[in-house]
């Protein structure tokens, strides 16, 4: 029976990368502590929230070790323009993941933008927000 491997923590990989990415950190809002999988109830200003979605692995033996892990990103900012600009920075930063050698959580070998950024004001607060879905090809 083939060995079943544990899934890679892609949320941790993406969050660590975004918190260290120079372009994201240079954004007008201080995002170092505003990138997470949780959204605080007292959130004000820009925020990046990542949620893992269902993904897949290949049935082919030569690629079965690679997981196609999917993340939904929700990007808030004070204005629609600021939310779009921050979304663009986050997308670009995530596409740089394969250039970063190795993480404690796994290795990213590819990135695919599944759902391009779209305007989706927060349904509870009507604050400016963009969403997108990105796939990260990862292995331990």
Q: Which helix or strand (DSSP H or E) is residue 18 part of?
A: helix 10-20
Among 81, 94, 103, 106, CA closest to 135: 94
pTM score of the predicted model: 0.88
- Domain encompassing residue 69: 10-37+44-139
Domain count, the chain: 1
Residue 60 within a domain: yes
Q: Give 87-136 pLDDT, tens digit per residue.
A: 999 999 999 988 765 567 788 989 999 999 999 999 999 999 999 999 99
CATH number of the structural domain spanning residue 119 = 3.30.2000.30
Q: Which two tokens stand for residue 36?
A: 């997470």
Residue 131 within a domain: yes
Each residue of 75-112: b (16+ CB within 10 Å) or e? bbbeeeebbbbbbebbbebbeebeeeeebebbbbeebe
């Amino acid at each position: 029976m083939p060995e079943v491997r544990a899934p890679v923590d892609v949320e941790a990989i993406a969050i660590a990368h975004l918190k260290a990415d120079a372009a994201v950190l240079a954004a007008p809002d201080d995002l170092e502590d505003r990138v997470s999988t949780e959204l605080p109830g007292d959130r004000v200003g820009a925020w990046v929230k990542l949620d893992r979605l269902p993904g897949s692995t290949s049935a082919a033996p030569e690629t079965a070790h690679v997981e196609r892990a999917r993340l939904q990103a929700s990007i808030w900012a004070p204005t629609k323009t600021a939310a779009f600009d921050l979304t663009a920075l986050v997308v670009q930063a995530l596409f740089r993941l394969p250039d970063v050698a190795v993480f404690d959580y796994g290795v990213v070998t590819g990135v695919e933008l599944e759902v391009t950024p779209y305007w989706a004001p927060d349904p509870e607060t009507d604050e400016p927000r963009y969403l997108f879905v990105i796939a990260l090809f990862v292995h331990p």
